[in-house]
Structure 1
Amino acid sequence: MWPEREDLSNEFTRLLGAAQEGGATVAECCVVASRIDSSDDQSWYREWKRIADANYDRGNAARDQGHVLTARSNWLRAINYYQSAAFPFDHDDENRQAAIERMRQCARDYLWHRSPRGEVVSIPWPSGYPLQAYFLPAHAEGKPAPAIICIGEPCQHKEEYLYKVARYASERGMSLFAVDLFGSGPHAQFEQIVGRSDLETTIGHIMDYVVERNDVDRDRIAILADGCGSSLVARGLAFDDRFAAAVCDGGIWDLHERAFLMDRDAELDAGVVRRLGLNRVARNIQCPVLISAGERGWLRAERVRELYDHLKADGRDVTLRIFTVGETAAAQGHADNPTLANEYIFDWVAARLEIGAR
């Protein structure tokens, strides 16, 4: 869209992909893009915030008139637009903080008017920095149900899971925990948190909370690492055997980083993988793993297949799905067609959790 601004162009592509999931409309995205001066981040912020405010106000008006379905749809779009408005700015920027607070308000409104009603929950974590999560129950009865935890890269916001994956979990009878690392306090703390050497311990603390809930089947809990651009979830799984299934990179980035540190000029090719072998992360994951990648992702598909072959040879229960350019969903994080990827991912998770088999 803007050749001179790859970052904004990628964000715009993500927005268009989100449209088919209810996180935007193509028409609104095109109108906003036509008004943006790509050399001015304030222009970007101003136009996306304007369309976000319009959706937020429209949602509130629909709620006041008793049209809850329309209200929820507008709030979901507003969530995504506010997130995009904040995109170019640092965490302590006033514009970013204002957009993020409105985004969170939209999320709270959506949860409150969802059926069954969702919750905002706090998950304890050391250093007085509780993690915040959204819990969307599978049904209203309160009986134990299988659940999936969705957590992305350290800089991803949990609010996007409300339009991105919530319906896939609900349609398959799963409760959803959407979690991020931003906490509920000042964003200044976030910079300290993401620099911790034990960041993967968040996975165990999240699981500690989830298994204690009476409305969750503790034997059928899966985790989805959205984006699969790092091994945060994979490292957490290596120290926690309570998960029934996982969608993550299986330790690919951990292996990639080891190869880079061994030889700054080395690529993660077949020879490097053979020399390194499987790392501790890959060897210690006990649950079934799905590695879902795109042919145009950050790592070349043949390198992902190489690691997959090593995992299979070592007896790991691992499934590989690489989406090709011809079928779409081939971009990093499947941003070009998240629907296609989500259908496959959630079908795989449902099968591993034996949903419908009990």
Structure 2
Amino acid sequence: MTTFFSARPHRALSKGFYRSADFDYEVRGLLGAVAYGAAEAGEVLATVDDVADGDHDHWFRAWHDLGSRVRAAADEEAAAGRTVSASMAYLRSSTYFSVAVNSVSGLQSDEQLLPTFRLQHSAWERFVDTTDRPIDRVQIPYEADHMPGWFLRSGVHPGPAPTLVMVNGSDGATSGLWTNGAAGAVARGYNVLLFDGPGQQSMLFERGIGFRPDWEAVISPVVDFLLQREDVDAGRLALYGISQGGFWVARALAHEHRFAAAIADPGVVDVAASWNANIPSPLMTLFRSGKKDAFDRDMALGMRFSPTTARTWTFRARPYGTDSYFDTLTEVHRYRLTSEEAARITTPLLVTDPEGEQFWPGQSVRLADEAGGPTEVATFTAAEGANLHCQPLARQLTDTRMFAWLDSTLS
């Protein structure tokens, strides 16, 4: 007897895990983090198996509970002296808590934000304590204060080593940078500097310090700090920015020229484009006409019919330090790189350009075209499993291409 099988394709990559774009993207990012030990595929799939699409309360509880369970297991391993297992579990716990932190945007109250962030941050710090990677906690002078950072020493070079400065996105966790380049850099003999800048993680949640568009005011103190270290090769400094960090990197490079190479993952020249695309055109007409009262009134009316959207707006607006809808959108529009500024970028630049970029489509090529120095575009496709913003399911492939270019450029 001949058995005939259905010719229907699986479509797991294209159809995704949830209809909710946010839920689906989080799952993709978590599965991508498995490659560097920052998540476990079984833990991720078992967690989402019981969470319905759009159930924000259950989504938050599920990741909070998973982070707590893995943290408890990590503590047990650490107490028994099994530091390798403990370190791996602390890293996973931090990753899961980071999902819970971001999911507070879908809750009716943000009272869980700070305590959940502190759980995430604590798990990361315990990873730093228990990993066999040499990591120094550092304080980077910034204005009248400092920015917290973590300097990952390569442990390979006997003398000064090439050093990668990593800039996070608008809502990324420090543990996320481990997956998105830091682990790959250290394995290849690079020092890595991770830090919380204005509007990011501890700077925002614990100090109330918000974003700023002029990121050169952040990056130049970072360079000054690194050049004081004997284990940093001043001639082989590289800068990397992920997600909205792609804008901050580009903006900084227009003014700070001490880097030998830089990577924007992806290229971002107009942050507001991702906001504008989600606002109805009649409202955008009011905004562009400067009709603040009418814009705020109509936005408030619309938000009453979509409480989830209202909560997401509040969460996303927090780092910009504004009150009204109009003022927030006005502030976001300051995060734009002009053609004249882009032309002042002389640092060799690699720009990733994933197929299906959801937030800033076309901006990677635009940055590459307008930059004044040598620029290369790294294209990623769905056929490679490397589509969507920041290639969430293809971080090893991203590292392969990124470090091939970086090694060649710094040599």
- TM interval, shorter chain, is 0.7 to 0.9
C-alpha displacement at 1:95, in angstroms?
Answer: 1.8
1:202 to 192, 197, 218: 218
Q: Report the secondary structure of 2:382's partner residue.
A: coil
Structure 1 moving runs of 4+ over 6 Å: none
Amino acid of the structure 2 residue aligned with 1:6: A
Residue 385 of structure 2 aligns with which residue? 328
1:177 to 193, 201, 216: 193
Unaligned runs of 5+ in 2: 1-16, 277-283, 286-337
1:98 aligns with 2:115: yes
* Structure 1 contact 248–291 (Cα < 8 Å) conserved: yes
1:283 to 331, 343, 354: 343
> Which string of whole-angstrom CA distances, capped at 9 and with x for unpartnered residues, describes residues 248-288 of structure 1?
1696514997xx9xxx89xxxxxxxxxxxx81232212221
What percent identity do the matched residue pairs reach? 23
* Structure 2 contact 97–120 (Cα < 8 Å) conserved: yes
Q: Report the secondary structure of 1:153's partner residue.
A: coil
Q: Report the secondary structure of 2:351's partner residue.
A: strand
Residue 134 of structure 1 aligns with which residue? 150
C-alpha displacement at 1:202, in angstroms?
Answer: 1.0
Amino acid of the structure 2 residue aligned with 1:54: R
- Structure 2 CA distance for partners of 1:255 and 1:18, relative to 1, 3 Å: closer
C-alpha displacement at 1:12, in angstroms?
Answer: 1.8
- Structure 2 CA distance for partners of 1:254 and 1:50, relative to 1, 3 Å: closer
Number of residue-to-residue matches in the alignment: 330
Amino acid of the structure 2 residue aligned with 1:283: A
Residue 135 of structure 2 aligns with which residue? 118
The whole-number CA distance in structure 2 between the counterparts of 1:163 and 1:304 is 22
- Structure 2 CA distance for partners of 1:306 and 1:134, relative to 1, 3 Å: closer
C-alpha displacement at 1:228, in angstroms?
Answer: 5.5
- Structure 2 CA distance for partners of 1:306 and 1:169, relative to 1, 3 Å: closer
What TM-score comes out, normalization by structure 2 length? Answer: 0.72
Q: Report the secondary structure of 1:334's partner residue.
A: coil
C-alpha displacement at 1:184, in angstroms?
Answer: 4.0
RMSD (Å), alpha carbons: 2.9
- Structure 2 CA distance for partners of 1:59 and 1:281, relative to 1, 3 Å: same
Residue 219 of structure 1 aligns with which residue? 235
* Structure 2 contact 153–191 (Cα < 8 Å) conserved: yes
> Which string of whole-angstrom CA distances, capped at 9 and with x for unpartnered residues, describes residues 118-176 of structure 1?
12222122254x22111111118874211101112232222222243232111211011
The whole-number CA distance in structure 2 between the counterparts of 1:120 and 1:6 is 36
Residue 273 of structure 1 aligns with which residue? none
- Structure 2 CA distance for partners of 1:217 and 1:328, relative to 1, 3 Å: same
Residue 50 of structure 2 aligns with which residue? 35
Q: Report the secondary structure of 2:386's partner residue.
A: coil
C-alpha displacement at 1:341, in angstroms?
Answer: 0.8
1:56 aligns with 2:56: no
Residue 402 of structure 2 aligns with which residue? 345
> Which string of whole-angstrom CA distances, capped at 9 and with x for unpartnered residues, describes residues 84-139 of structure 1?
111122599332222221221122122222334312222122254x2211111111
The whole-number CA distance in structure 1 between the counterparts of 2:378 and 2:64 is 37
What TM-score comes out, normalization by structure 1 length? Answer: 0.82
